[in-house]
Structure 1
């Protein structure tokens, strides 16, 4: 075993740097295991970098396995790493169930990975899938979704203007559309505006 298990995060970071500097496929499993439990953000980022230093043919299938069967941190970190690798073979792991995962961190990682990995022809279907999450969670969670949607560009306009399941989702759509038009605008939900829009018959 390497110093990836050391109690000192600086030692773990140095170990990840050493593995990434001289890649060795025999360490891929240990890197993935550490991703599943590592509490330090900087160490996790270095673990991702170390994985990226190995051949995609070896890392991507293992990362996909983590997304499908790992614990929530392992899944989130695997999605983050896949979004950095940007391999076209990673797209099939992005499913509607993953985009609506009950774990917020997994869902947010899935949103970020999806907009990086999506093929051009799938941008509108992805925007439609992401729109089902409008109104979800905290302000930070909603801003994460808005950023993911905005990364898809103008294709999101009809999705944002379409029917939404409730006033909170409509308010989130309005706030996202405002950001699409003016990236410097602040992200604020306007529930009263959303109610007025709904009253005018633009929502179901």
Structure 2
């Protein structure tokens, strides 16, 4: 690993900015560590720009940590601009960093467009951040919005949405019930699985999905009758 020693002054900032874009991910990781350990406002742009293109998970995580070390009054407005970026990774990483900062004023920036983002990773991150930042009085509206995404994507995407809805609490029950009673079997099964998880968080997601699919196939009344007969 290349050694990078922190020193004061603009030339060092320039060297660190270059190191954040090095070919070797270990160099990028160490550079992000140095920046976070010695916060410098002058490196805000370099950190944000690297977040938008960084392919390595561990480096991205260190970049986020470095951003959380800077004063939020300068970091938050810059992250808000990234939410409108054309790059999905820029949007998802900005959202992730907002979740780590945890400033509830950022709730207003979690728009419907982000919650419905065409990129699954962006949407998943938006769901998580929204649940973290939403004011109590707006939880029901968020639940109504999130259930519109039921049935979307692969297993990991559906699990992320279920976790977000479960984390919202009991306020999600009416919206999940409506979705479970709908005509789309995929949406109904996902809603049912989420309700199973909400009632019993220890249930595995796959088991909850299987149970929800069984209920959808049989109908609630027949499924209840079958369960009674098995007892």
Query: Unmatched 5+ residue regions in structure 1?
Result: none
The one of the two structures with greater contact order (alpha-carbon pairs below 8 A, sep at least 6) is 1
Distance 1:148 1:18 in 2: 34
Q: 1:194 aligns with which of 216, 228, 231?
A: 216
Establish whether residue 56 from structure 1 lines up as the match of residue 78 from structure 2.
no
Residue 150 (structure 1) aligns with: 166
Residue 61 (structure 2) aligns with: 45
Distance 2:109 2:220 in 1: 35
Instruction: Give the secondary-structure state (helix, strand or coil) at the position aligned to 1:6.
Output: coil
- Report the CA distance shift for 1:116/1:43 in structure 2 as closer, same or farther (over 3 A): same
Query: Unmatched 5+ residue regions in structure 2?
Result: 1-13, 223-231
- Report the CA distance shift for 1:92/1:197 in structure 2 as closer, same or farther (over 3 A): farther
CA contact (8 A) 1:134 1:169 kept: yes
Shift of 1:182: 1.1
CA contact (8 A) 1:99 1:130 kept: yes
Residue 184 (structure 1) aligns with: 202
Distance 1:197 1:166 in 2: 13
Deviations along 1:84-126, one digit per CA (max 9) or x if unpaired, are 1111221111112211111111101101111111111111111
Establish whether residue 167 from structure 1 lines up as the match of residue 167 from structure 2.
no
Residue 133 (structure 2) aligns with: 117
Distance 1:186 1:83 in 2: 26
Instruction: Give the secondary-structure state (helix, strand or coil) at the position aligned to 2:39.
Output: coil
* Paired positions, count: 200
